[in-house]
Structure 1
Amino acid sequence: MAQAAPKSHSQKDFPLDVSFLDTEASLALENYVKWTNDQGLGGIESCLSKLKAADPTFAMGHAIANGLVLIGTGSSVRLDKELDVAVKTMVEISKTQPLTHREQLHVSAVETFAKGNFPKACELWEQILRDHPTDMLALKFSHDAYFYLGYQEQMRDSVARVYPFWTPDIPLSSYVKGIYSFGLMETNLYDRAEKLAKEALSINPTDAWSVHTIAHIHEMKAEVQEGLEFMQHSEAHWKDSDMLACHNYWHWALYLIEKGEYEAALTIYDDHILPSLQASGAMLDVVDSCSMLYRLQMEGVSVGQRWQDVLSVTRKHSRDHVLLFNDAHFLMASLGAGDAQTTQELLTTLRDASESPGENCQHLLARDVGLPLCQALVEAQDGSPDRVVELLLPIRYRLVQIGGSNAQRDVFNQLLIHAALNCSSGLHKHVARSLLMQAPGPSHVLPSARDVLPSPAPTH
């Protein structure tokens, strides 16, 4: 293994278990944990560029650099030849060096993730965490991969197992509180999640991820006014966290949509969400933009030419098929912008991927879940609500498998409810009533079924 650079002040602040990383790799990891391209820390891209230039044979440098690109889900080895070469180079370099078992696992996990086998990659990261519970790289990569898989309990328990080892004297330990709180929230343990997130914020008020968890909690509990007040009061602390600020503004806008304050929501979109999308092109900003415009559209709000701005970013990703969750949002953009060619390209290539999935977990899921979901979006655009219900109702309990949070996937719950309300079939209207009565989380802020549907006829 190449000799690591002498420790800087920043690297000394890291847990002992990541001391095998050199300075630039440590700085990149710190940016990743904090969800910011902190220029005081060099910014992720700058750190990775310096890392590669300083020692092209540093295997762990390649693992973190490739892992960060892959975990962003904006590129894949299937279509990005440069990334494909980078991953193969990482593997070749690892074979020429006497790496520790832990380092070998890191390389293998990134290679496996690149193939689309997210569950196996998580198994490898978990092996690292069993022996090195304060390995932040393994913790964060596995956490994000579980999120993409919709493995909510695993996302929570992976952090729960290592949480006792992250004592307050270990730098970044407060951020582990925030990571753990998110898994608790996604498994409906709202009180415990809020307690941990507030503990994290009491230590570091600029922890945008913990802010984001509390925003989720208010959303899932339909505490709209409380959520608005929290976002307003905390904005100064998280608005400069450039990798997550857009998403926090998205949460803010959701509260406004739920209050029916559509113009205020569009103002947040125009002032914060779209500019972030255009500046970063990051997948989180992409799905936030698509999801927000789609929700507004379902409420009958005209979004003007805004879909065209989004499509200019999403069009180039229509053949990626890294995540089905992303695909569904790209499709919203091409449908909203009226781009039939891009819509067809996305559907055709996704169908092709589903027919030769290999070990790619997303392509394996595409036939039974991804393609019906995408077709439902097409049918909704074509004004066929009965067909939307026929497609979505059988898979509604499987949608968690496409990943994303409960709040993010709620756009598909809302699509099903809106379609059922507009069906010509009496049977589907009864479906609408049952969906509205049982809707979990944010969907229950939709109008009550008693307000929008006639009562069922009495039985005798």
Structure 2
Amino acid sequence: MVLKAWSAEHLPLSTSSNEACKLYDAILTQYVKWRNDETLGGVEGCISAIQAADPNFVMSHVISTGLELVSTSSSTRLNERLASAVRRTVELANSQDISPRERLHVKAMELFSRGHFPKACDVWEDILVDHPTDLLALKFANDAYFYMGAQIQMRDSVARVLPHWKPHMPLFSYLKGLYSFGLLETRLYDQAEKVAMEGLALTPDDAWAVHSVAHVYEMKAEVDKGLKFMESREKDWQVSDMLASHNYWHWALCFIEKGQYEAALEIFDSQVFRCCKATGSMLDTVDACSLLCRLEMEGVCVKDRWLELLQVTQPHTDDHVTLFNDLHFLMVSLGAKESGTSQRLLEGLQELAKEPGDNLTHQLAGTIGVPICQAMMEYDQGNYNRTVDLLLPLRYRVVNVGGSDAQRDVFNQLLIHAAMKSENKHHQKLGRCLLVERDAMKPNSPLTDRLMQRALALHN
């Protein structure tokens, strides 16, 4: 029985329904694999089925509501159905005799729902001290660290539990991909690649481990290696429908790096935008925003694509779940020349910054979110001096908006472009200094070389 199997792993589930346990297992597995198993009706189908199997099973509510929360596609501030689901989970937990571990899960989910990401992570980590094989706690914490830009924590969280995992355990190999990502986000690229490859040797279709290797090649500007790797393994990672579009995004970055813009646009049209339109997934959506922004900075005309993407992002203008999402939505409203939406997003952040409470996004809104938004708006208006003045002091704090180094590089590029275009001679020198620094960290980057040439052409 699945129920007994969970207990045998010292992760007992408070339900008498074996079917509910099976479905919990299925949801967790799909979450870890980034893949909807259509034979089970996908994650959505399993969530419906688990609630039918045992409507009062607390961990079924934790995983289903938790997954919606960590998707960052909806805010409990605005979405009463989601807020109600959180309250229902808390009420169920309070009315039942559940295990301390399950009670902590409820607490962490409730904290996350209020935007108190650091405290939620503390609670998930408390679970992992006593239950290092609790994969839901590990994954939820990993996601939350990612949204905070907490790179070291993301790495160390997995490192602490890895020795407790044995090769015979279900999903063991997927921890390699998780750990690899933490390693690469802390610039340990060679180790990250090695660990990811160990995972792929065990599970060739682990899309997250593939994604980790793609990051390594991106950060080291090993473009041809990256292209070859993504292409050679495309059939493996394509099946992970929740991550495939993001892996295509990495593929497109390789093309942008090489200056092959048509190939990047082809991926945008056929994969990234198509997926974001179909799924509404935040990962797919921010990828689409970022690709267009990068292409425009490279001087590529993206035509009506901003307007099409605005249809996806505009409904999220007031969400303010993460600053990372907000900044990407702003790229679109600026690109689409939808000034009212841009202004609304900025003013919404300014308002939330006044009384942020425990919400991390709102706490950072005033000091980081608002000035970056203003910098982007100034850049859009051609006020490059002002863009530099706003962005430069935040260079080393941009990490706090969340996302990966590769994703946040769009803001590095924005600062470089602004400095190069500025009329201020000091800014122009700064732009060249930033390019020298970029070259030192990422040698042999064709994109950096192009920017260097452009800077010299502009200022000589």
TM-score by length of 2: 0.94
For 2:233, what is the secondary structure of its paired residue?
Answer: helix
Distance 1:150 1:106 in 2: 22
2:323 matches 1:324: yes
Letter in 1 for 2:420: L
Report if the CA contact (8 A) 2:197-2:209 is conserved: yes
Distance 2:71 2:328 in 1: 15
Counterpart of 1:50? 49
1:45 is displaced (CA, Å) by 0.8
Letter in 2 for 1:230: F
Counterpart of 1:411? 410
Counterpart of 1:451? 453
Does the C-alpha gap of structure 1 residues 340 and 443 become closer, same or farther in structure 2, counting only changes over 3 Å? farther
Counterpart of 2:219? 220
**Count of residue pairs the alignment pairs up:** 449
Does the C-alpha gap of structure 1 residues 89 and 184 become closer, same or farther in structure 2, counting only changes over 3 Å? same
Report if the CA contact (8 A) 1:15-1:170 is conserved: no
Distance 2:8 2:288 in 1: 36
Does the C-alpha gap of structure 1 residues 304 and 358 become closer, same or farther in structure 2, counting only changes over 3 Å? same
Report if the CA contact (8 A) 1:112-1:121 is conserved: yes
For 1:97, what is the secondary structure of its paired residue?
Answer: coil
1:66 is displaced (CA, Å) by 0.9
Distance 2:452 2:287 in 1: 31
State the Cα deviation string for residues 261-312 of structure 1 (Å, max 9, x = none): 0001101111111111111000000100000000000011000111112110
Letter in 1 for 2:269: D
Counterpart of 2:203? 204
Letter in 1 for 2:449: P
2:37 matches 1:59: no
% identical equivalent positions: 53
1:442 is displaced (CA, Å) by 8.8
1:261-272 pair list within 5 angstroms = 261-272=260-271
State the Cα deviation string for residues 404-460 of structure 1 (Å, max 9, x = none): 0000000000000011011100010111011111124599541277634459x9xxx
Report if the CA contact (8 A) 2:173-2:202 is conserved: yes
State the Cα deviation string for residues 309-356 of structure 1 (Å, max 9, x = none): 211011000000000000000001111111112111111111111111
For 1:37, what is the secondary structure of its paired residue?
Answer: coil
Distance 1:429 1:169 in 2: 57
Distance 2:239 2:97 in 1: 41
2:9 matches 1:16: yes
Counterpart of 1:355? 354
1:12 is displaced (CA, Å) by 5.3
Distance 1:178 1:142 in 2: 15
Gaps of 5+ in 1: 1-5
Letter in 2 for 1:67: G
Distance 1:442 1:385 in 2: 27
Counterpart of 1:276? 275
Does the C-alpha gap of structure 1 residues 192 and 242 become closer, same or farther in structure 2, counting only changes over 3 Å? same
Counterpart of 1:3? none
Report if the CA contact (8 A) 2:223-2:257 is conserved: yes
State the Cα deviation string for residues 338-382 of structure 1 (Å, max 9, x = none): 111211111111111111101000100010100111111111111
Distance 1:329 1:140 in 2: 24
Counterpart of 2:253? 254
Letter in 2 for 1:361: L
Report if the CA contact (8 A) 2:215-2:250 is conserved: yes
Counterpart of 2:34? 35
State the Cα deviation string for residues 73-112 of structure 1 (Å, max 9, x = none): 0012100000011100110111110111111100000000
Counterpart of 2:91? 92
Letter in 2 for 1:129: L
Cα RMSD, aligned residues only: 1.9
Gaps of 5+ in 2: 14-19
